[in-house]
Structure 1
Amino acid sequence: MQPSLARLLADGRALGALAVPLALTQLAQVALTTTDTVMMGLLGTEALAAGGLAMVIFNQLRTMGVGLVTAVGNQIAAAGARAESGASDAEEDIRDLVRASLLLSTLAGIAGAVLMVLIGHAVVRLGQDPDVVDAAKPVLYLMAPGLVPCLWFQSIRQFTVGMRRPQALLRITVASIALNAGLNWALIHGTWFFPKLGLPGIGLATSSVYALTCLALYLSARRDPRLAPLLSLNVWKTRPATLRRLLGLGTPIAATYGSEAGFFSVVALLVGSFGTAALAAHTAVNQLVYLVFQIAVGLSHAASIGVSRELALRDLAAARRLKTTALAYAVAVMAVVALIYTTMPRLVLAPFFDTGDRAATDLATKLLLVAAVLQFFDCAQNIGVGLLRGLDDTKGGFRVTLVGYWLVGLPAAALLGFATGWNTVGIWLGLLAGLATTAVLLLRRFDRGVGRLYGVATATP
């Protein structure tokens, strides 16, 4: 076996050891929203459109809150590497990072819940169907309280990932899928002793599941002899310098995630102007894209943690190889997904639509063809964001997304959607253009960043 191939396989095994449980955890988490989407579809096209609108708003704010604490994993990974090297202050640094992340999560969760309610009242002014908006409001009201435990969960998750002990995440998240499905059904239909809430029952189920999974992950970490001494809840003891550092790193990440989520949110609003069937088709295919995207998130987090660790150990070559390894994984997985989308679209879409809804189903089938290509770039740009986070270059990632999404993607979506008559398909082609531009710019910036840090020539991707 050639040395380069042997090295790639060895790097792949090392990356996969962290990426696989993270990707499976992400997939399990998205199965929660997929279950919600399927349940909405069973209630009818209007319920799917209203629930999809509520989920877009919730995911926008949740994603930005998650961004605030995402850098915690990188910082803990670097501190963990120092602890292994014998640094006496490293463990206290880890405790303080945990405290600061929990404090940020609390503040972001409260602010996000308030904004969620306010946006729910304002969105009707953005061209959405008033009946759809009225149906979405109760779902938003019941989802809003779940944002705080959702972000607490993310803080503890970043702690366990940074310590390279993510295994409990998968078990807890898989269990939450069954819990979410059961609560959805019970609260929609009034099964057993639960009230019959209809569509709003999905919002209450979501908040309940977030609270229970947060508690389960916390208790699991408390039982881990390596994690328990480092899991500090004394947020009032947070060092101001640690909080400022996390804010400095986390704010651009939140803005980056918000930029991406906001881009997708605006795209959903543009699609909504074409009617209920268009929004339902967009919601279904977007959920499929979001589902597969979680594989990219797992690869991105694993590569990001790896870069932080390798740079702390001053191994430039290993840090640089992580980009190639992560992208190789991504291309292999996305090729399989594209094959499924193009050869069996009706089977893929069957859980979201009843057989009589031809308009939405036919449109969703066309969107799947765009999604088959789009997901290569969506995966690559997410890996690029993670690689830059490993370099602590969080501001650079944000600036790139502004260019890719808003200066290229949104104008392209508006032009192709409204000026050409391609409508929803044209908007998705604009979405593809924005993601492709973002991916190229992010990966090029990572190569240049590594080159600047170590004085080596910039590699062209």
Structure 2
Amino acid sequence: NSWLFALPLGITAAGIALLSEYILKGLDQPERAAEVAKDFLWPYALGLPFTLMTISNQQTMLGLNKPKYVLMMTALNVPLILAIGYPFIFKLGLNETGLGSAYAISGFSHFISYSILFKYKFADYKIFDFRSLCKKDGKCALLASKGFWIGLYAFVELGNVLANTILIGRSNNANDDDALSALQPALQYASIVANLTFALGHSLTILITGSQKTKSHVETKKLGVNGIWMGLTLPLTILTVFFIDQDLLLKPFLGEDTTDLARRLLLINILSQVADTFRNIGSGILRGVGNTSFASNVNIVTVLCLMMPFSLIAEMIYNLGPEAVLSGRAVGIAVGAALISYKCILEGRALPEDGYARLPQPALEDKGCWHRLFSPKKKDNIQDQAQSELKSQPKSWGKCIIL
């Protein structure tokens, strides 16, 4: 069901990306901005539907308490982007088209890898059995709502990146070529670091806590604290390298022609990535305890109400340049991270010492379907057990089966 919602969102986003050249020209953007949009976004758009469906796969995997597979897939995908992108850009001379093609190919392979993993590794969960799930008390709506919020947030974030690119293209504080070429390495580093920190933070946290799910507020606190610290490791390491040798980070993208603007934009993105670590890992923790919509709502609101207005004010009114545009985005990320982290604290306090706070009574005494559905000792005939449990309990227990 997450796929069913992510696919039309991805197709819509791809359509916007394909039309971006004409949109930019209609907004009287510089010719160079339209060229970059056309060259980079048309191949990138082909991979967008698969990228959004991959996000759904990642969240499902986290919901199954298997973050190590998210780490494994990310560890395979990031080198794939670099392995494809580097020869496409520098050896074949495809430049922006090569970068977009690398993301499209890696996004498709990422999606296929997750699909194979679900099909064969988690066959007992019958994830592909949509019809039987939908027939049980109309619970498709609950499943679909989870996929919807995840897909909607990804869609809004895409619009934010496009809009920031437009604003930087309008900047009068640097010529168009410098601004747009400097933006690419900054955003790509942010993307790579975000994926790695998200996967590393979750995976290492599970290993440290020694727990497969957050059963109490003590474990939830440990999950959050350890996850944040582990997630901060990578951006802080990159920040250290930045102050030691900035060109070392920029040369893979810009070759020898590194610019001061590229350095400033990269620094802003590295700093915002530190805050984004709190946002990403906090969002995953909330989804892990069953609260799917809060993180997505906060992220969407901060994008629309903070990131975009701050960027618009910085460029349209004060003409402060691309640094201010990306700084506006960083402010939105920081506010979102603070709200999500606070919500994680509240969720941790709400969980009782003996756990299972989200199950209705009498589930606190008899752990029932949740325990049987996810217990590692009960891997065989999971769906049959879940169906029999549903028949023997009130209809409200159906939520437990779906979650």
Same-fold call, TM cutoff 0.5: yes
Paired position in structure 1 for 2:183: 282
| Aligned ranges 1:35-54 → 2 under 5 Å | none
Alignment partner of 1:443 is 2:341: yes
- Residue 294 and residue 178 in structure 1: after superposition, are their counterparts in 2 closer, same or farther (change >3 A)? closer
Matched, 1:173 2:77: yes
Residue 310 (structure 1) aligns with: 213
Aligned length: 342
Please name the residue that 2:145 is paired with. 248
Residue pairs, 1:43-192, within 5 angstroms: 100-134=1-35, 136-137=37-38, 140-151=41-52, 153-154=54-55, 158=59, 160-161=61-62, 162=64, 164=66, 166=69, 169=73, 173=77, 176-177=80-81, 180-181=84-85, 184=88, 188=92
1:182 Cα shift? 8.6
Name the stretch that deviates more: 394-403 or 381-390.
Answer: 394-403
Partner Cα distance (2:91, 2:229) in 1: 43
RMSD: 4.0
Cα deviation for residue 419 of structure 1 reads 5.0
Counterpart for residue 90 of structure 1: none
> For residue 341 of structure 2, what is the amino acid of its counterpart?
L
Cα distance in 2 between the residues matched to 1:254 and 1:156: 11
Matched, 1:351 2:351: no
Call closer, same or farther: CA 1:151–1:111 in 2, change over 3 Å: same
**Counterpart-to-counterpart distance in 2, 1:132 and 1:440:** 34
Structure 2 gap ranges (5+): 354-403
1:316 CA displacement: 2.6
- Per the TM alignment, residue 322 of structure 1 is displaced from its structure 2 partner at its CA by 1.1
CA distance in 2, matches of 1:398, 1:175: 28
Q: Are 2:298 and 1:400 equivalent residues in the alignment?
A: yes
Structure 1: distance between partners of 2:116 and 2:305: 45
What TM-score comes out, normalization by structure 1 length?
A: 0.61
Distance 1:426 1:307 in 2: 43
Match of 2:194 in 1: 293
Identity of aligned residues (%): 21
Number of the residue aligned with 1:319: 220
- CA offset at residue 440 of structure 1? 1.5
2:342 and 2:244 mapped to 1: Cα distance?
33
Quote the Cα distance in structure 2 between the aligned partners of 1:214 and 1:419. Answer: 42
Separation of aligned partners in 2, 1:106 and 1:120: 23
Alpha-carbon distance change, 451 to 176 in structure 1, aligned in 2, over 3 angstroms: same
Higher helix share: 1
- Residue identity in the other structure for 2:286: L
- Relative to structure 1, the CA distance from residue 199 to residue 323 in structure 2 (aligned partners, 3 Å threshold; closer, same or farther) is closer
Q: Deviations over 1:264-287 (max 9, x none)?
A: 332222111122311211222121
Q: Is the 8 A contact 2:217 2:351 kept in 1?
A: no
2: CA distance between counterparts of 1:428 and 1:283? 12
Q: Is the 8 A contact 2:282 2:337 kept in 1?
A: yes
Deviation at 1:221, TM superposition (A): 5.3
Deviations 1:102-132 (A, max 9, x none): 4444444444444443455424333433454
Q: 1:202 to 1:170 in 2, by over 3 A?
A: closer
Tell me which residue corresponds to 1:425: 323
TM-score (norm. length: structure 2): 0.68
Q: Determine whether 1:336 maps to 2:237.
A: yes
Contact kept in structure 2, 1:299 and 1:383, CA below 8 Å: no
Distance 1:220 1:129, change over 3 A: same
- Cα deviation, 1:5-40, whole Å, max 9, x if unaligned, reads xxxxxxxxxxxxxxxxxxxxxxxxxxxxxxxxxxxx
The letter for the 1-side match of 2:283 is V
